[in-house]
């Protein structure tokens, strides 16, 4: 996750409207990203074998459960239904790329490395799901095209109701997934 977040930040900085950030600004943005801090903190605690006090774990669990709903509220607040329904090349690339090309590339690599059965099914589900909602918040905060992101993730979510079963069926039928 940190590598993906860092690459997302680099792309947003490079292609944003105010793409004049220097290396120090990019490093600062990466260093202050709360998702990176959360993942690295969790990794360090897990690696150290530190037992987290149960009340703290309860609070963290409640916050984690609220994260999806909060992301959906933020996405909904920024969503323009008109943008989601307006066809554009960028929207089409985002939907087709994530929901069809990504699973096909994943299957290709899985076949190269001999992945099949349940592991292939899990890979296909992971590769077939819509884009993450936290990207909208990152895009909005860093000057990306948050409206396009919201529209793309909305369309991906609706289209994925059809593509996820299709990809899993194709994986079971032709690639040995369970």
Condensed to tens digits (0 to 9), the pLDDT of residues 49-104 reads 999 899 999 998 998 888 878 877 877 776 667 778 888 999 999 999 999 999 99
pLDDT over 90 percentage in the chain:
39
pLDDT of 19 above 60: no
Is the pLDDT score of 16 beyond 80? no
- Judge whether residue 165 has pLDDT over 90: yes
> If you average pLDDT over every residue of the chain, what do you get?
85
Torsion angles phi and psi, residue 177, rounded to 5: -75, 160
55-59-64-69 Cα dihedral, nearest 10 degrees: 150
Alpha carbon distances (Å) from 159 to 7, 18, 45, 50, 92: 26, 32, 38, 42, 11
Answer yes or no: is pLDDT of 1 > 70: no
pLDDT digits (tens, 9 = 90+) for 102-112: 999 999 999 99
Residue 117's DSSP bridge partners are: 177
Measured between its terminal Cα atoms, the distance across the chain in Å is 27
Nearest alpha carbon to residue 176 among 114, 127, 106, 116 = 116
159 and 97 Cβ atoms separated by less than 8 Å: no
Q: What are residue 76's DSSP bridge partners?
A: none
């Amino acid at each position: 996750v940190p590598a993906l977040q860092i690459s997302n930040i680099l792309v947003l900085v490079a292609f944003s409207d105010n793409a004049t950030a220097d290396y120090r600004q990019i490093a600062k943005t990466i260093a202050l990203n709360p998702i990176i801090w959360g993942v690295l903190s969790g990794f360090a605690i897990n690696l150290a074998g530190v037992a987290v006090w149960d009340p703290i774990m309860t609070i963290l669990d409640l916050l984690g459960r609220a994260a999806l709903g909060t992301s959906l509220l933020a996405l909904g607040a920024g969503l323009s239904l008109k943008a989601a329904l307006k066809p554009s090349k960028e929207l089409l690339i985002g939907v087709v790329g994530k929901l069809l090309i990504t699973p096909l590339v994943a299957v290709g690599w899985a076949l190269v490395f001999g992945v099949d059965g349940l592991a292939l099914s899990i890979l296909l589900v992971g590769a077939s799901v819509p884009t993450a909602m936290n990207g909208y918040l990152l895009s909005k905060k860093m000057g990306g095209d948050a409206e396009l992101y919201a529209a793309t993730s909305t369309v991906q979510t609706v289209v994925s109701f059809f593509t996820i079963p299709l990809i899993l069926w194709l994986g079971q039928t032709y690639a040995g997934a369970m």
